């Protein structure tokens, strides 16, 4: 076997391992991970077909129905949709192109299997190029849709999680951009380089992209980054103000903000209000996101403790930790953003 064959074999085995993990590993997001698992199933089949093409010489193999050009990106699309909390009524519609592709290719596969001469006629009709163009259009379209969803998800993350590191789907956006460039420039590159060089270049890009997306998927397999589905309801300003009043009373009574691990999800369970309503009320009435709102309460608490004699002997960092900040850098940044001066300057002025 050639070096490229060994690389495909290694990548195929790696993809198979990731597939098993995503399909059967019991994480807290097992349902969503299964979409990624199904995406890798299609990649495993396509990589297996790479070797079938090398050793099976019958022309019918060019029309095998397991291409998945119109299916693989659909699984990534559903992964992004579910993560971003977007509700889709008729998911089945997104599978129709793949079903038609499978049926269409199955017919030609059987025809060429029975009569190999049909292959010559189909080549003259540029059958393969037409199928590739259709597949490229679908992949580019789905990639653009996924990128838009990922951007919405990234903007919403701060409203649901205080720490958003590694929670965004940037890796999926990068992969989609590669897919777009690969499908838009692939055929044009063939005009400037030899067919052999073109094939090696495309295979190299394919393998590197595959390696990137498998590693990125594995890294995020246990990271909780889902956003609750949005329900289209319109609350009046008075209703949202009432929600804020309930939240403020709860904050005053329980000092829930002192919990350094508090998130919108855990707070919603405590106060027994929908996450959507809490987030919307804070955003529309207080003009903050949930994390900024919590940090405002923590800083007010810090000011009160700093003014008390029994806290004079404590350091600024110790008091910040007591009011719910688990990071010195986060405390200093939020304090200056909200108060306008650094904590040390504020403490010095308070002593004076």
- Does residue 231 fall inside a structural domain? no
**Are residues 25 and 115 located together in one domain of the fold?**
yes
Residues 207 and 254 in one domain: no
> Is 228 contained in some domain?
no
166 plus 197 within the same structural domain:
yes
Q: What is the pLDDT of residues 53-77, one digit of tens each?
A: 888 889 999 999 998 999 999 999 9
Q: Within this chain, do residues 205 and 313 fall inside the same structural domain, yes or no? A: no
Is 337 found in the same domain as 206? no
3-state secondary structure the chain: CCHHHHHHHHHHHHHHHHHHHHHHCCCCCHHHHHHHHHHHHHHHHHHHHHHHHHHCCCHHHHHCCCCCCCCHHHHHHHHHHHHCCCCCCCHHHHHHHHHHHHHHHHHHHHHHHHCCCHHHHHHHCCHHHHHHHHHHHHHHHHHHHHHHHHHHHHHHHHHHCCCCCCCCCHHHHHHHHHHHHHHHHHHHHCCCCCHHHHHHHHHHHHHHHHHHHHHHHHHCCCCCCCCCCCCCCCCCHHHHHHHHHHHHHHHHHHCHHHCCCCCHHHHHHHHCCCHHHHHHHHHHHCCCCHHHHHHHHHHHHHHHHHCCHHHCCCCHHHHHHHCCCCCHHHHHHHHHHHHCCCHHHHHHHHHC
Both 166 and 32 in one domain: the answer is: yes
Residue 351, pLDDT > 70, answer no
- Whether residues 60 and 175 share a domain: the answer is yes
Share above pLDDT 70 across residues of the chain, in percent, rounded to a whole number: 93
pLDDT for 10: 86
199 and 76 assigned to the same domain: yes
**204 plus 254 within the same structural domain:** no
- Answer yes or no: do 156 and 213 share one domain: yes
Domain that includes residue 8, residue range: 3-219
Number of domains in the chain: 2
pLDDT number for residue 206: 79
Q: Any idea what the CATH number is for the domain that residue 173 is in?
A: 1.20.1070
Average pLDDT, the chain: 88
- The answer on pLDDT for 334 being more than 70 is yes
**Do 166 and 86 belong together in one domain?**
yes
């Amino acid at each position: 076997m050639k070096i490229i064959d060994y690389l495909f074999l290694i990548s195929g085995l790696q993809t198979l391992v990731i597939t098993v993990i995503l399909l059967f590993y019991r994480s807290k997001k097992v349902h969503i991970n299964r979409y990624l698992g199904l995406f890798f199933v299609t990649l495993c089949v396509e990589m297996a077909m790479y070797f079938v093409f090398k050793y099976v010489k019958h022309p019918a193999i060019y029309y095998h129905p397991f291409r998945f050009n119109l299916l693989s990106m659909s699984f990534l699309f559903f992964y992004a949709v579910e993560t971003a909390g977007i509700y889709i009524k008729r998911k089945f519609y997104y599978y129709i192109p793949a079903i038609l592709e499978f049926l269409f290719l199955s017919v030609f596969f059987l025809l060429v299997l029975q009569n190999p001469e049909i292959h010559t006629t189909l080549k003259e009709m540029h059958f393969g190029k037409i199928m590739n163009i259709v597949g490229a259009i679908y992949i580019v379209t789905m990639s653009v849709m996924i990128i838009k969803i990922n951007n919405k998800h990234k903007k919403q993350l701060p409203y649901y999680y205080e720490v958003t590191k590694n929670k965004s789907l940037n890796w999926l956006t990068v992969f989609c951009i590669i897919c777009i460039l690969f499908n838009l420039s692939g055929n044009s590159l063939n005009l400037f380089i030899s067919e052999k060089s073109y094939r090696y270049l495309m295979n190299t890009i394919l393998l590197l992209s595959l390696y990137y997306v498998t590693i990125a998927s594995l890294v995020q397999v246990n990271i909780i980054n889902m956003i609750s589905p949005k329900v289209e309801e319109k609350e009046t300003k008075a209703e949202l103000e009432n929600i804020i009043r309930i939240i403020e009373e709860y904050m005053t009574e329980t000092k829930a903000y002192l919990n350094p691990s508090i998130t919108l999800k855990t707070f919603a369970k405590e106060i027994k209000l929908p996450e959507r309503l809490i987030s919307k009320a804070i955003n529309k009435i207080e003009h903050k996101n949930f994390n900024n709102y919590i940090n405002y309460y923590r800083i007010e608490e810090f000011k009160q403790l700093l003014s008390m004699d029994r806290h004079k002997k404590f350091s600024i960092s110790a008091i910040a930790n007591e009011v719910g900040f688990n990071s010195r850098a986060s405390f200093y940044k939020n304090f200056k953003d909200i108060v306008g001066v650094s904590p040390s300057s504020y403490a010095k002025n308070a002593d004076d």
